[in-house]
Amino acid sequence: MPPLSKLGLAQFAGFESADYAGITYLDTFFLKKGHASEEHLFFHELIHIIQWGLLGPERFLATYADGLEKFGYSDSPLEKMAYGAEAAFVQSPIVFDAEKLVARQLGM
C-alpha cells in the first residue's frame, strides 16, 4: 500500500492501514498468502485491472481517490463495481464479458 498519509493525504489513513486480501496496480495484482485459491478474489482484482486499462492510470487514481474520500471504501464506485461483478461471477455459471460490463458501467 502506498504511504498515502506520509504524502500529505491524511484522509486516506484508514484505507492505507486496512487489511486487504489483494491489491491491483495497473495490470498486476498481489494477493496475501493464503488467498491464492480464492477464484472470486482473482475476478475482483481482474475488474480493477480492466478499470485501470479503460480509465488509464491518472483517471483511475483520481476516480478511486475521489470515491474513497466521498463514500469510503465499501461505497466507492470502483469498489462497488468490482464487488458487484464478483458477486455476479460467483452466483452465475453464465460466461460474461467483464470488460464490456466495466465499460458499460463507466459509461464508455
| Structure confidence at residue 35 as a pLDDT band (50, 70, 90) | very high
| Structure confidence at residue 1 as a pLDDT band (50, 70, 90) | low
Among candidate residues 15, 3, 29, the one with its CA nearest the CA of residue 75: 15
pLDDT score at 20: 83
Give 9-31 pLDDT, tens digit per residue: 666 666 666 678 888 989 999 99
Q: Going by C-beta distance under 8 Å and a sequence separation of 6 or more, which residues neighbour residue 40?
A: 86, 89, 90
Burial (CB count <10 Å: 0-12, 13-18, 19+), residue 45:
buried
pLDDT score at 95: 82
Residue with cell 493464503: 34
CA atoms of 13 and 26, how far apart (whole Å)? 22
Greatest mean pLDDT range, 58-62, 69-73, 101-105: 101-105
